[in-house]
Structure 1
Amino acid sequence: MDAGRRGELEAKVYAGERLSRADGEALFASDDLAWLGRLAHHRRTELNGDRVLFTTDLDPAGEINGESAAAALLPYGGNDDHGQRLDHLMRVREQQDATGGFKVLIPLLHQPESRDHTETAAPAESLKTFAVARLLVDNVPHVKSLWANHGLSVAQLTLNFGADDLDGSLTDGITGDDLLDLIWDAGFRPAERDANYEVVREHDPAPSLAGRRSEPQQVWA
């Protein structure tokens, strides 16, 4: 991407302008993950500040199975390509313009039936998909990352690529305290929500970067 096109995209994002499908193509074509992360982080901060929403009482499987009309899914990592993802995102945005019914967009990594491997898209591709989804779908208030789908390490990274809602069952040794630490370690303020995405409890903000670096950080497998 040349400097002029890059500057054009930055200007549109920072001015709060709606991005086009062609803009989405340019974002997907970029290999500068740090730049994409900065743009997506700016947009998610405009919408949701420093909060990362979470819940320990709801079963996210209902949203995955389509039982919640408030959730729009973005399946990726199977046989799809960037163009198909963009088409899907544009349809979600158009439907949201028409109905306003979605509260959350959930990028959902394809899980193969075979247990020989556990991922169908590299972590960098997942982060790029989250960033483009957050930047393109400007009218859905939240983007959710499911740690059971992406793994804890990648899910934590998605919080800096547009995601502001972290969800998954507290199983396999993961506790509520672990979840708080994960959000704090990523530099955000945890906020517990209800089923309607209303905040029911807001926790302390994240420690300063210097404070986080002064203590060994958890490495999430």
Structure 2
Amino acid sequence: MDAGRKSELETKVYAGERLTRADGEALLGCDDLAWLGRLAHHRRTELNGDRVLFAADPDPARELAGESPLAALLPYGKDDNHGQRLDHLIRLRDRQDETGGLVVLIPVLHQPESGDHTETAAPAESLKTFAVARLLVDNVPHVKSLWGNHGLSVAQLTLNFGADDLDGSVTDGDPTRDDLLELIWDAGFRPVERDARYEVVHEHEPAPSLAGRRSEPQKVWA
């Protein structure tokens, strides 16, 4: 993407203008992840500040099955094309304009073991997808990252690419509540526990300063 097109998109994002499908296509085709992350982070900060929500009583299977009336899914993988992804996002945005019923958008990565014969996408593609979802679908309050679907390391990175909500199962071998608090603080955000209807249960302290976070070894989330 040339500098002129980047400048045009930056201007629209920082002015709060709605992006077009063509804008989304340009963003998905851009390989400058740092720049794309900055734009998505700006939009998510406008909507949600420094808060990252996580479920006090998570039930990701319900949302993955599409049973939650508050949630919309964005399936994606290595073999789909950007046009399919963008068409899906535009349809969701149009539906939200009409009904206003959605609270959260959930990008869901195809997994090879799922049996759908779709190869998984690379982490960079996941980060692009989260960023463009946040930038394009401006009328859904939250974007969720499922750590069981993307892995904890990528899920933590998505918090800087538009996601403001973490969810997943809490069973043996999965992150505990304390693990999630540390993961969110390490990413530089304030953890906020919520219920299934996105009502706040408990708001925790903000993240330590960057200098404070760097003073201790950071946990690597496998």
Instruction: Give the match's secondary structure for 1:11.
Output: helix
**Counterpart of 1:7?**
7
**Counterpart of 1:129?**
129
**Counterpart of 2:215?**
214
Confirm or deny: 8 A CA contact 1:143 1:163 kept in the other structure.
yes
Structure 2 gap ranges (5+)? none
Confirm or deny: 8 A CA contact 1:59 1:168 kept in the other structure.
yes
**Counterpart of 2:109?**
109
**Counterpart of 2:177?**
176
Q: Compared with structure 1, are the counterparts of its residues 84 and 173 closer, same or farther at alpha carbon in structure 2 (3 Å cutoff)?
A: closer
Q: Normalising by structure 1, report the TM-score.
A: 0.96
Identical amino acids, percent of aligned pairs = 82
**Counterpart of 1:195?**
196
Separation in 2 of the partners of 1:38 and 1:73?
24
Letter in 2 for 1:38: R
State how 1:63-74 maps to structure 2 within 5 Å: 63-74=63-74
RMSD: 1.6
1:142-171, Cα deviation, whole Å (9 max, x unpaired) = 000000000000000000000000001112
Q: For residue 119 of structure 1, report the CA deviation from its aligned partner.
A: 6.5
Separation in 2 of the partners of 1:173 and 1:83?
35
Instruction: Give the match's secondary structure for 1:191.
Output: strand
Letter in 2 for 1:121: A
**Counterpart of 2:49?**
49
Structure 1 gap ranges (5+)? none
Separation in 1 of the partners of 2:78 and 2:92?
19
Q: Normalising by structure 2, report the TM-score.
A: 0.96
Confirm or deny: 8 A CA contact 2:79 2:119 kept in the other structure.
no
Letter in 2 for 1:93: R
Aligned residues: 220
